[in-house]
Amino acid sequence: MSSVGERIKSYPGFGVLAAVCLVLLYAPLLIVMIYSFNESPSITRWGGFSLTWYVDVFTGSESSKFKVAAWNSISIALMATIGATTIATAAAIGMTRSGYWRGKSLSFALINLPIMVPEIVTAVATLIFFSAIGFKTGYLSILLAHIVFCIPFAYLPIAARLQGISSSYEEAAIDLYASRWQAFRYVLLPILLPGVVSGALLAFIVSLDDFLITNFVKGAGVETLPTAIFGAVKQGIKPNIMAISTLMLLVSVLFVTVSWWIGRVGDKSSVVASK
């Protein structure tokens, strides 16, 4: 019975296509990683393994530019993550713990609006807004724009986890004379934490990776890593760019892995009602 079921479930060639899909997704990234260790400055011919370009990233002629850009990227990503995750956590509790009310789907659409509007449109609209109100574009305008588009990325994992947590925990706390703040802080938040951490990690990566919106609202003089890399790539792909790209790639992979792992551990914990 089950062997027949397995047999009719499988389609010839689908496994091959799945393998092709993985190769297509990873090949360009792996090739850039490999070539970032290339000794030869001619970036096509292989001249032996070397860490030259990594040393160049940290000490070379462009290193000070990249250091400033990296600092801007990381500090903006940290603050945007804190802002967006706080707003998203409050919104997720407000949405999942309030039953039905008129305008709820409108509220859901509003919270997720930043992922639905094409990035270039958000970029143009934000630039026009800052220009119209006379807000000087620069570090602060980048930060504000990042908080906005990070909200839905933080919201979705937090809301997903909240839906799996029965509200009887916080109700029990209230019945036992906890204040609503205490019920949140000591009962709901610890159970919700894996969702909050996943959401925060995703918000951090999304902020760190953003190019288009940042490029519009950064004004003159302020660069983040993606805008600095874009500027450098316009002059040609040099090996130090491949080294920086590899480093950023590894940071992304690290964050996704941690987020994924926390999500798995979180799902296994007993308080989340299994479907």
Partner 1 sequence: MAGGTLQNTGVDGAAFAGLRHRLLFPSWLTIGVLLVIPVLLMLVYSFLTKEFRGGVVWEFSLAAYDQFFFDRGLFGDEPVKIEWTYINIFIRSIVQASLATVFCLLIGFPTAYYIATRPASSRAIWLFMITVPYWVNLLIRTVSMKFLIRDTGPLNHWLMQAGLISEPFHIINTNIAVQLGLFYSYLPFMVLPIYAAVERFDFALVEAAHDLYANRWTTLRRILIPVVRPGVIAGCILVFVPSLGAFLAPDLLGGAKNFMIGSLIEEQFRGSAGNWPFGAAASMILLSLVLLVLMYYARSESRRP
Which two structure tokens, joined as six digits, stand for 71?
């600092």
Binding mask 184-223 for partner 1 (x = CB under 8 A): x-----------------x--x--xx-xx---x-------
* Contacts of partner 1 in 46-85 (CB under 8 A): none
Select 52 or 246, whichever has its Cβ closest to partner 1: 246
Select 48 or 116, whichever has its Cβ closest to partner 1: 116
Q: Are 209 and 252 spatial neighbours (Cβ–Cβ below 8 Å)?
A: yes
Q: Are 158 and 199 spatial neighbours (Cβ–Cβ below 8 Å)?
A: yes
List residues bridging with 38 in a β-sheet: 49
Total residues in contact with partner 1, by rule CB under 8 A: 99
158 contributes a contact to partner 1 by CB under 8 A: no
Select 97 or 136, whichever has its Cβ closest to partner 1: 97
Quick one: how many helices (H) and strands (E) in the chain? 13, 0
The beta-carbon contacts of 258-262 under 8 Å, at least 24 apart in sequence, are: 258/201, 259/197, 259/198, 259/201, 259/202, 262/194, 262/197, 262/198, 262/201
Helix/strand/coil percent split, the chain, to 5: 75, 0, 25
Residue from 40, 50, 63, 96 in contact with partner 1 (CB under 8 A): 96
Binding mask 112-151 for partner 1 (x = CB under 8 A): -xx-xxxxxxx-xxxxxx-xx-----------xx-xx--x
**CB of 51 vs partner 1, minimal distance in Å:** 19
Scan for tokens 């588009």, then name that residue.
149
* Contacts of partner 1 in 229-258 (CB under 8 A): 229-230, 233, 237, 241-242, 245, 248-249, 252-253, 255-257
